[in-house]
Amino acid sequence: MTWQALLLLPLTAVVWLISHGKRLRRSTQPYARPVVIVGNLTVGGTGKTPMIIWLVELCQRHGLRVAVVSRGYGAKPDRAFPFLVSDQISARHCGDEPKLLAQRLNIPVVVDPQRHRAVNFVLAHHSVDLIISDDGLQHYAMHRDIEILMLDGLRGLGNGCLLPAGPLRESAARLSSVDFVVVKQHPLPLPIPFELARLTANVPRNAAGQTLLGGPVKICSGIGNFGSFRRSVSDLGYQVIEALSFADHQLISPEALVDDQLPIIITEKDAIKLDLQSYPHIYVLTIAFDLSAEFERRVLATLREQIHEKSHHYTGAL
């Protein structure tokens, strides 16, 4: 542990008291449909978005109707909460992740910092079998039926300390209380069972659908785990000559996107905020999770069990 972390250690008691208090006051009032949280224990990117995409696509393959609720982090809304993400709403107004999920998956995505209100909005306006919350593991005002906790395999739990001395939002004991733990890319020495999610990256494409086949590149992104993005690009065989990292959810500056003889690779989350027709030299890297068939079976069985249970308790409620 660094000396800076040691100095901050007393403040972790405050974080523990706040998080513990929220858990004690957590909602015990279930909704008429199951709510699945895909969240994290640590700050920074852990793969929530590709996990949600994997989960929604699993449900769609098996005929389950899904909606997503999100707080819309980083958004500057131009309307009252809660609201449905539509084609007419820009990523600036709803947040990059909600816009990406709505556009890619063609499902209802509702934005509201008060996720409890967002869930009720979905139930009032959409016919769904379940609702997925983008983040919100620590948002205890929202009742949850299933919790999926995401961890980055390289970062792990860091120094094991709560904020601000370490990266943890809650105690590591929380690992044993969730339904599933998914570790991105690299296995971790954990005392509980977990599923390993391997990243698969597709060859980047520009707005015209042209692929970029190898060679030197520049990468730019405003995501929570820039290192993971860089590794994905390098693993595809590209030579990263220049790398520009922006704050998570930040719009890449126009100056960074100027064509300086190097093709530029960005992420889907960055692309959703840009008019790529104006940037033929920019290519978008899309990634997905590869998870085991056994994990898929267990998740699907858990979802169906919750849906079946709710249908018996809330018949005719919607």
Angle formed by the axes of helices 48-61 and 293-313, nearest 10° = 70
CB atoms within 10 A of CB 315: 9
Report d(CA 146, CA 314) in Å as an integer: 18
Residue 68's nearest CA partner among 50, 82, 56 is 56
CA dist 9 to 2, 4, 241, 254, Å?
11, 9, 39, 40
pTM of the shown model: 0.94
> Going residue by residue through the chain (318 aa), what tens digit of pLDDT does each one get?
787 888 888 889 888 899 889 988 999 999 999 999 999 999 988 999 999 999 999 999 999 999 999 999 989 999 999 999 999 999 999 999 999 999 999 999 999 999 999 999 999 999 999 999 999 999 999 999 999 999 999 999 999 999 999 999 999 999 999 999 999 999 999 999 999 999 999 999 999 999 998 999 999 999 999 999 999 999 999 999 999 999 999 999 999 999 889 999 999 999 999 999 989 999 999 999 999 999 999 999 999 999 999 988 876 544
Are the CB atoms for 6 and 165 separated by under 8 Å? yes
Listed in sequence order, the DSSP H helices in the chain are 3-8, 12-24, 48-61, 91-94, 96-105, 115-125, 226-235, 268-271, 293-313
Cβ contact 111:85 at 8 Å: yes
Domain boundaries, the chain: 25-198+291-313, 203-285
Quote the tokens at residue 121: 């909005």
CATH class of the region 25-198+291-313: alpha beta
DSSP state of 257: G
Could you tell me how many residues make up the chain?
318
Residue with tokens 């690299």: 186
d(CA 290, CA 243): 27
In this prediction, residue 226 carries a pLDDT of 95
